[in-house]
Amino acid sequence: MVVLSPLTGYFRHQGNVFSNPEDMGSLKEKDKKPIFDDPMVERVRRCHLNDLENIVPFIALGLLFALTSGASTTTIVWHYRIFVVARLLHTIAYIGALPQPSRALSFFAGLVVNVSMAVQIIMKNWNSF
């Protein structure tokens, strides 16, 4: 997720694709038109949004899982590892435009980790709810 912001900037600079006039600095006045539909910039932006939609819940669930589930350290660490690898593979598949089901499989692997942690948190703490 951290790499995608600079990557978006790289593709914006590479193709002179800017969404704000003040970012267009050295471009000629006739070329200073905001562009919102560059395919590569949009691909990276969508990948970044997908990361935000999945990593933020993982952080919350991962913290609760570690603190309240009673799971072993090994179980917790394997959940974290699988999620991180799944998201890295998802990003590579998204940015590289790899054929499906590569992106879908990596997305669902991360989703399964989040669901697994949520279920274990609920099961362990059911009486507290």
- Regarding predicted confidence, which is higher, 73 or 31? 73
Residues in contact with 1: Cβ distance below 8 Å, sequence separation at least 6, in sequence order: 48, 51, 52, 55, 87
- Regarding predicted confidence, which is higher, 113 or 21? 113
- Regarding predicted confidence, which is higher, 111 or 35? 111
- pLDDT, residue 125, reads 81
pLDDT tens-place string over residues 77-123: 999 999 999 999 999 999 999 999 999 999 999 999 999 999 999 99
What's the pTM value of the predicted model, to 2 decimals? 0.81
CATH number of this structure's domain 39-128: 1.20.120.550
Q: What is the mean pLDDT of residues 34-54?
A: 85
The C-alpha atoms of residue 32 and residue 25 are separated, in whole angstroms, by: 9
Q: What is the mean pLDDT of residues 52-76?
A: 94
Q: Where are the domains of the chain?
A: 39-128
- pLDDT, residue 17, reads 73
